[in-house]
Structure 1
Amino acid sequence: MPDTWRLPSVNDHSPTDEFGQQCLRTLTHFVPASLAAFYRIDEHLQACDFQLLGMQPPMHAAYLDHYRHLDPLQPVVCIDSALPVVPLSEGMRRQEASRNREYQGFLQRHSVVDVVEIIVRADSRPVAGISLLRDTALGPFRAHELADLLPLHGLLQLAAARVETTQAVALQRLTPRERQIALLLREGASNKVLARELELGLPTIKTHLLNLFRKVGVGSRTELVARLFL
């Protein structure tokens, strides 16, 4: 299987990134897939921060631009099903036939014949999902393969809880002012915005940022946000 290709929105050394790569390696080892994707589920129950295995960027870009809204295995649908492992047939049962036909046309253009979605929770909150896709060479997922994913799902949930705990501990180590800065950085605040919001001079802001980067063990704003929040 091809090496992991990932979108450049997640820091290569963040706990979530490492967790995602491990999820993809583990699941595709025990249940073969032609293509796979790991993603984070945000507070709006949207998939984001994708890591892809075997899937080429044009296919994923087409999905995001034109077919995501038709996907019968979107996180909100899978969560509503209350199933830990959701096959494509279950997702399609929950939406209109016309939407299913359009989405299946997209899958067929890429020789995909079946998909299964795994939703991972931490403290009962959905935090991540994994898509496994099969092409015509591998054929549809079999009943015993779906059953094999259930114990793996349990292990992934235990691992996800540990990742969430690691990030919570990192946040707790920060002072109230550092947490305030980190939260503003998550919203994309510039140094000027930080200075205005905190009523501090730019040199002081730069000193705070250097100290914060050093404490968390990162070298940039992007890495800081990834380490603490992704």
Structure 2
Amino acid sequence: MSQSPALPDALELGQRCIRAFTQVVPATLCAFYRIDEQLQAQHFSLHRMTPHMHDAYLQRYRHYDPLRPRNCAAAGSPVLSLHMGMAQQGRHETEVYQGFLQRNGVCDVVEILASDSQRPIAGLSLLRDASLGRFSPDELTTLHALQGLLEIAAQAPYSQSDQRLAALTPREQEIAWLLREGASNKAIAQHLGLGLPTVKTHLINLFRKTAVGNRTELVKALFL
């Protein structure tokens, strides 16, 4: 009897969604996240977003974000552009958040939400810099068409390795997932836009947190 295919963990699910959506609608930075019962984003899976930017967002700017889950849910649309979100909040909040985005080279953002029958359960942020420009109306229409796939993915079951991954930072989770795929330090650095010394530092921290001595043991400890 053949074994059932392994269920994806939350990080892998996020990375799969990011890859699928950005193949159709390109983005410079991405974040997939779960939404708790208080409509707060958590358990982020990041793509090309620096830890400094993500930490600053969580600590100082998330409350100014016009596209945070509570606002998107209130707007009644599963796909919301930055312009649409900012139109629903005050001038001060808009200026503060625009300043944060500009300092990080972001010119536009689109949020896609997935819901079950009761509330939003997951979201995907697509961010663009000036090289890609703002999202066009046609691209927003395409994202509306793809939103159903995000909803299906977000409601699918996933593996119990998430509890082990929860102790790691979002960046460490990204690296752990890439290690599971067999990526070298150089490949990890290129994929995440990091320097090799930074990747090595993250690996040391991962070994320490999981009490292992090498990459193979790390993958076994987190995913098997």
TM-score by length of 1: 0.65
Matches of residues 212-223 of structure 1 in structure 2 within 5 Å? none
| SS state at 1:133 partner | strand
After superposition, the C-alpha distances for 1:174-222 in whole angstroms (9 at most, x for unaligned) are xxxxxxxxxxxxxx9xxxxxxxxxxxxxxxxxxxxxxxxxxxxxx98x9
Q: Aligned residue for 1:36?
A: 30
CA contact (8 A) 1:84 1:150 kept: yes
1:161 correspondence with 2:155: yes
Report the alpha carbon displacement of residue 14 of structure 1 after superposing the two structures with TM.
Answer: 5.4
CA contact (8 A) 1:42 1:48 kept: yes
CA distance in 1, matches of 2:98, 2:12: 31
CA distance in 1, matches of 2:127, 2:75: 19
1:74 correspondence with 2:74: no
Report the alpha carbon displacement of residue 69 of structure 1 after superposing the two structures with TM.
Answer: 0.7
Q: Aligned residue for 1:150?
A: 144
In structure 1, give the amino acid aligned to 2:119.
Answer: R
In structure 1, give the amino acid aligned to 2:110.
Answer: V
CA distance in 1, matches of 2:74, 2:139: 22
In structure 1, give the amino acid aligned to 2:127.
Answer: L
Q: Aligned residue for 1:116?
A: 110
Report the alpha carbon displacement of residue 123 of structure 1 after superposing the two structures with TM.
Answer: 3.0
| Runs of 4+ in structure 1 over 4 Å off | none
TM-score by length of 2: 0.66
> For 1:97, which of 91, 94, 106 is the aligned residue?
91
> For 1:57, which of 51, 67, 70 is the aligned residue?
51
Identity, in percent, stands at 48
In structure 2, give the amino acid aligned to 1:53.
Answer: H
Q: Aligned residue for 2:126?
A: 132
Q: Aligned residue for 2:173?
A: none
1:23 correspondence with 2:11: no
CA distance in 2, matches of 1:154, 1:24: 14
CA distance in 1, matches of 2:118, 2:140: 22
In structure 2, give the amino acid aligned to 1:60.
Answer: H
CA distance in 1, matches of 2:35, 2:77: 16
After superposition, the C-alpha distances for 1:81-120 in whole angstroms (9 at most, x for unaligned) are 1101000011101110111011101101111100000001
In structure 1, give the amino acid aligned to 2:53.
Answer: M
After superposition, the C-alpha distances for 1:37-56 in whole angstroms (9 at most, x for unaligned) are 01110111000111110111
CA distance in 1, matches of 2:48, 2:28: 7
Root-mean-square deviation (CA, aligned residues, Å) is: 2.6
CA contact (8 A) 1:123 1:161 kept: no
In structure 2, give the amino acid aligned to 1:71.
Answer: D
| SS state at 2:107 partner | strand
Report the alpha carbon displacement of residue 21 of structure 1 after superposing the two structures with TM.
Answer: 1.1
CA distance in 2, matches of 1:123, 1:19: 20
